[in-house]
Amino acid sequence: MNRPEATIEEILGLLPDLDDLEVLRLQLVAAAVRDPGKEWDSSSAYTTIDKRIVTPEAAERALDEAEAALHEYVSALHRGLRPFLQSFFADDRDAASRHLIALGENLEGSGRLLGAQKCYRAALTVSLPLVDKGAQILALRRIGRVSVSVGDFKEAVAYYERSADLSRDSGDVPGEVIGRTGIGNVRLWQGRWNEAEACYHEALALADAAGSGAFMLERGQIYNNLGNLTTRQQRLQESEGWFERAFHVWQALTSPVDLAICHHNHAHLREAQERWDEARRGYEAALKLPIPKALRATIATDLAEWWLHEGHVTQAEELGRLAEEQAIAAGSPYTIGYMYQGRGNIARAQGDADGFTFFEKALEIAREKGYPFLEGETLLDYAALRAQNDGYEEAAAYLERAAEIFRELGAAGELERAKRSLAELRSTGELELAGESPIAAAGD
């Protein structure tokens, strides 16, 4: 007897663990749908992508699409290497290095972060003997960017610092502006806010020195980040000024992603000011823009929590599902993990113990893919759910592990959160967590 469907969990559990089948895995996840026979089952509210189903026809289409995508990937890989080899044999190391960087950018754009990182490291090696340091500076920044994406903050800041210092020594002002902004972004992720602010102001001073019309894109991104940073420091009036400058830039420059980030972070400011209706309008304005699905998933997650604050559970769940669909469509494991962390928080706010399934899935992704920051943040929030349901020992263990991860990453702000929550749990048996993921942009 033929099977009419199978769950993603079943299929992926039986596929050979080959790197070449990663595209097929993503295509199968994208092709899977909720089980219509269980839509009215109360437990369906807490199912993750593992329990979605795939029909034989959908699996066949996914296989065809994955095969075509893999062929295109192999072709693109070799197309990218052809000019590299030509430049190498022409003894043009600068061009050879830049071709490797371009290849890495292609891989990074398709979500192949570790492959991209290897290309950037190869480009760095090729560029090291060159007198002109432009390619080396760019390769260093690209390694820093990928390191941020996978949560390796110590490596990220080391490469951004090398790029900024080399830019300064080479008289490359644009490179230094972008490099110092990148350092600031890493420090923001680490919760080292004073250092982040110093980096942003160093970058801004360099941009200002070049004249009022120079570095407008970079200025706008720095304004976005300073608005976000000062909101987190509760310097709300100052934050207002930074966002005013940022919106002025985005009126003059067309950059939907940067404008969406600005709206998103501005909504956080409005929440801090308890101007809740304006915060909602900010989130909604960001979601109306043509932005990548991964960013859309993040913003939808925060808007879902806004609806929870207002006591509208149905709308929060709808936004949580939108975030899930967007994260799956983005094909980014990190985004999917972050989204499930957010859905776990929605469940926790509702007092639903079954929300543990979302946290467990986020942890599984974080550990399997090597995203330590996501693992630490998920453990922090998961601990609150466990404590809420009398699982004090488990909650304490999660917080201790989170603190260990943040200590290893050098994430001082999150480490302090974990320590404070652990002390709270031990003294009262309760803890309440709040916070959202910072979104920062560096230009490249």
Q: What is the pLDDT of residues 103-156, one digit of tens each?
A: 999 988 877 788 899 999 999 999 999 999 999 999 999 999 998 877 678 899
Tell me: pLDDT of 437 over 60.
no
Is the CB of residue 430 less than 8 Å from the CB of residue 424?
yes
The rounded mean pLDDT for the chain is 88
Tell me: pLDDT of 267 over 70.
yes
Q: What is the pLDDT of residues 53-89, one digit of tens each?
A: 888 898 899 899 889 988 988 898 999 999 999 999 9
Q: Compute the distance between CA of residue 87 and CA of residue 335 in angstroms, rounded to an integer.
A: 37
Is the CB of residue 43 less than 8 Å from the CB of residue 354?
yes
Longest CA–CA separation in the chain, Å: 74
Tell me: pLDDT of 1 over 90.
no
Which is more confidently placed, 190 or 429?
Answer: 190
Mean pLDDT value of segment 40-53: 63
User: Cα 418 to chain center, whole Å?
Assistant: 21
Mean pLDDT value of segment 197-212: 93
Q: How deeply is 157 buried, as exposed, middle or buried, from its count of CB atoms within 10 A (0-12, 13-18, 19+)?
A: buried
Tell me: pLDDT of 45 over 70.
no
Tell me: pLDDT of 17 over 80.
yes
**Structural domains of the chain ordered from first start:** 1-87 (no CATH), 92-214 (1.25.40.10)
> Per-residue b/e over 342-352, b at no fewer than 16 CB within 10 Å?
bbbbbbbbeeb
Torsion-angle region of 364 (φ positive above 0: left; ψ -120 to 50: alpha; else: beta)? alpha
Task: Give this prediction's pTM.
Answer: 0.80
Residues sharing a CB contact under 8 Å with residue 397, sequence separation 6 or more, in sequence order:
none
User: 26-40, 166-180, 274-288: which range is least confident on average?
Assistant: 26-40
C-alpha dist (Å) from residue 245 to 194, 222, 251: 21, 10, 10
Tell me: pLDDT of 438 over 80.
no
The DSSP-derived string for 171-189 is T-HHHHHHHHHHHHHHHHH
Q: Compute the distance between CA of residue 62 and CA of residue 15 in angstroms, rounded to an integer.
A: 14
Tell me: pLDDT of 44 over 80.
no
Torsion-angle region of 439 (φ positive above 0: left; ψ -120 to 50: alpha; else: beta)? beta
Residue 1 is which amino acid? M
> Per-residue b/e over 203-214, b at no fewer than 16 CB within 10 Å?
bbebbeeeeeee
pLDDT at res. 118: 95
Tell me: pLDDT of 431 over 70.
no
Task: Read off the pLDDT band of 40 (50, 70, 90).
Answer: very low
Tell me: pLDDT of 43 over 50.
no
Q: What is the pLDDT of residues 208-223, one digit of tens each?
A: 998 878 899 999 999 9
pLDDT at res. 46: 57
Tell me: pLDDT of 33 over 70.
yes
